[in-house]
Amino acid sequence: MAGRAARGQLGRVAYTLYVTAYFAVLGFGLVGDLAGEHARAQTITPRASAVAGAVIAVIVIVAAQVGRTAVALRPSPAEVQYALLSPMSRQSSLARATGLSVVASMIGTAVAALVLMITSAPQFGGLSVGIQLSYVAFAAGVGLVAFALHLLVAERRWRAPLLALALLSLAASAYDVSRGAEVSPFTFAVRALREGAPALSVLGPFALGGVVLWLALARAEHIPLEMIGRGSDIADRAGVALLGNDLRTLLMLQRSMGAQPWRTRPHVRFGSRLARRFPVLMRALRGMARWRLYRWLMFLTLSSAIGALLRVHPATARTIGLASFALWLLGLILCEPLAQENDRSDRLFLLPRSRTIEYRHVAVSWSITFVWLLAVSWATVRDRTPALSIVAVAAAAASAATTAAAISYRREWKSVVKETSIFMPDMGSSALLISVLWPALVAAACLFPWASHQDGLVIAAPSAIVLGFLVSWINRGGVVKLFTPGVTPR
């Protein structure tokens, strides 16, 4: 027992280190890229960039530690509902694992949003460093203020206008920056920041973030758990999904964001004859035919954003990273049928040709994703990017999305899998294979001709490889043990 507990602690520590390293390397990689560009342009010193990167890393490390020591950070709607229905007060519920999980998710959301805003700032060619940092800080500040209000108000009727305001502000900032204009509706705020020290511009959002985190903890009792539990609000789910300190959490929440509820009546009906002749393909298309309007809107918006990102901004590490992330999310939406197959072992497994059918699912999911991503990439960058690179990037993104879907078991079944070794070798080995291939695919995406000459990938590609294999190593306890006959992990 002691050995098992020690191994559990070791795994916990390893996981914490993994999360920490993941964000630290990601942050440093992206900021390093930024620093390199500006150092060449002699507009900012590497030292200043390093300081900014270090601050980001510290924040992320703290967030990761707080999250991991609080609880496993995997809030699921079922858990939240359990907390709500349990015979104890809301405050007591929140003090337990589920409540802490939700709170930690909110904290992580704030930090993740901050890091994302800073590292994904568009190119600021021609502007001074003060302006650049001011815009980043301003954008981050607007987002955080919106988030703080979101937490404090905690009412559905207030949330939409606040989020709309935040998005509008960010869009206006981005528009100003893209035009290179220094006069804008936000001139006053920007100038106030610009005239301060650049360090203040960087530290300001972090201070604001700290206030938000404190408020989140102080007001934890009033976080609208029902919204999260019922999954009826995209903003809530997106907030939790943004947490990003647990790959599987991200996968699951991303899935649940897009998966419910389905239309009872499909947009398009496919005949039974076709469905029986091509069961896997038609099963996927029938699922898509039940997408609700908001899911289509989300899908098309994401596609448009990717297209715009690729079209407007040069192919830097940041652009590639963001586009890859968005493509991955997009692909995961398309791969929902494959993910559903892996949720329950008694779906496919009990069929005689389960492995064949699973591979068909992989092929169908990959193909649908690839075709769409190729279309988006082709429409946006075909005039300045080699065709081979476009195909390669679309293929890599489709592969990443497919593998992500294949390893995204629903948590409750993942837990059953761990306890009873319910997955059989021929199904489980495919999942294992896919999880091992995952890092290689990510690394390959970073090394394609389109991107390989860009700065920052020198850091990003090895990071992806190392961290990807670390993911596999950490996951081995949950997957490899399944295939040991006679041994039941507990």
Partner 1 sequence: MTTIDFLNVTKAFGDLVAVHPVTAHVPDAAWWVIVGANGSGKTTLLQMTSGLQSPSTGTVCVGAAEAGTPDARLEVSYLSDSPAFYSDLSVAEHIDYLAGLFEDDAVADRAHDIMRAFHLHTRVDDLPDTFSRGMKQKTAIALALARPSTVLLLDEPTRGLDAEGAETMVSLLRARHDHGTTVMTVTHEPERFAVPNAMQLRVHEGVFEHPKPMNGD
> Contact between 481 and partner 1 (CB under 8 A)?
no
CB of 402 to partner 1, least distance (A): 18
Among 156, 191, 219, 286, binds partner 1 (CB under 8 A): 286
> Contact between 420 and partner 1 (CB under 8 A)?
yes
Phi-psi domain of 402 (left: phi exceeds 0; alpha: psi -120 through 50; beta: other): alpha
Among 71, 100, 253, 282, binds partner 1 (CB under 8 A): 282
Among 278, 325, 378, 469, binds partner 1 (CB under 8 A): 278
C-beta separation of 15 from 474 below 8 A? yes
The interface region with partner 1, picked from 110-118, 235-243, 298-306, 351-359 by CB under 8 A, is 351-359
> Contact between 352 and partner 1 (CB under 8 A)?
yes
Which 3 state secondary structure label does DSSP give 386? coil
> Contact between 214 and partner 1 (CB under 8 A)?
no
Among 7, 12, 277, 476, binds partner 1 (CB under 8 A): 277
> Contact between 419 and partner 1 (CB under 8 A)?
yes
C-beta separation of 133 from 250 below 8 A? no
Angle between helices 317-334 and 354-381 (to 10 degrees): 140
Q: 115 vs 280, which CB is nearer to partner 1? A: 280
Q: 399 vs 421, which CB is nearer to partner 1? A: 421
> Contact between 343 and partner 1 (CB under 8 A)?
yes
Q: What is the DSSP letter of 76?
A: -
CA 455 to CA 318: how far, in whole Å?
Answer: 10
> Contact between 421 and partner 1 (CB under 8 A)?
yes
CB of 334 to partner 1, least distance (A): 13
Alpha helix locations (H) across 41-180?
46-70, 77-85, 90-95, 97-119, 129-153, 156-179
Amino acid (one-letter) located at 459: I
CB of 256 to partner 1, least distance (A): 10
Among 156, 290, 313, 481, binds partner 1 (CB under 8 A): 290
The token duo for 61 is: 């490390």
> Contact between 374 and partner 1 (CB under 8 A)?
no
Report CA-CA distances (Å) from 233 to 97, 102, 240, 285, 473: 22, 15, 11, 25, 35
Q: 354 vs 435, which CB is nearer to partner 1? A: 354
> Contact between 42 and partner 1 (CB under 8 A)?
no
CB of 351 to partner 1, least distance (A): 6
State the Cα angle at 186 between 184 and 190, rounded to 5°.
105
Could you give the string, one character per residue 245-264, with x where binding to partner 1 holds by CB under 8 A and - elsewhere? --------------xx-x-x
Q: Would you give the distance in Å from CA 65 to the centre of its chain?
A: 19
Q: 325 vs 413, which CB is nearer to partner 1? A: 413
CB of 335 to partner 1, least distance (A): 13
Task: Say which residue the tokens 């495919």 belong to.
Answer: 430
CB of 40 to partner 1, least distance (A): 50
> Contact between 292 and partner 1 (CB under 8 A)?
no
Q: 269 vs 453, which CB is nearer to partner 1? A: 269
The interface region with partner 1, picked from 112-120, 271-279, 325-333, 470-478 by CB under 8 A, is 271-279
C-beta separation of 449 from 389 below 8 A? yes
Amino acid (one-letter) located at 115: V
> Contact between 287 and partner 1 (CB under 8 A)?
yes
> Contact between 233 and partner 1 (CB under 8 A)?
no
The token duo for 75 is: 């809030």
C-beta separation of 71 from 100 below 8 A? yes
> Contact between 422 and partner 1 (CB under 8 A)?
yes
Among 76, 354, 430, 454, binds partner 1 (CB under 8 A): 354
CA 361 to CA 437: how far, in whole Å?
Answer: 17
Residues 6 or more apart in contact with residue 47 via CB below 8 angstroms: none
Size of the site for partner 1 (CB under 8 A): 41
Q: 219 vs 344, which CB is nearer to partner 1? A: 344
Phi, psi of 267, rounded to the nearest 5 degrees: -65, -40
Task: Say which residue the tokens 């907390």 belong to.
Answer: 83
Q: Would you give the distance in Å from CA 458 to the centre of its chain?
A: 22
CB of 310 to partner 1, least distance (A): 30
The token duo for 462 is: 């090895």
> Contact between 87 and partner 1 (CB under 8 A)?
no
Q: Would you give the distance in Å from CA 99 to the centre of its chain?
A: 22
> Contact between 340 and partner 1 (CB under 8 A)?
yes
C-beta separation of 283 from 267 below 8 A? no
Binding-site ranges for partner 1 (CB under 8 A): 259-260, 262, 264-265, 272, 275-280, 282-283, 286-287, 290, 336-337, 340, 343-347, 349-354, 357, 419-422, 424, 485-486, 488, 490
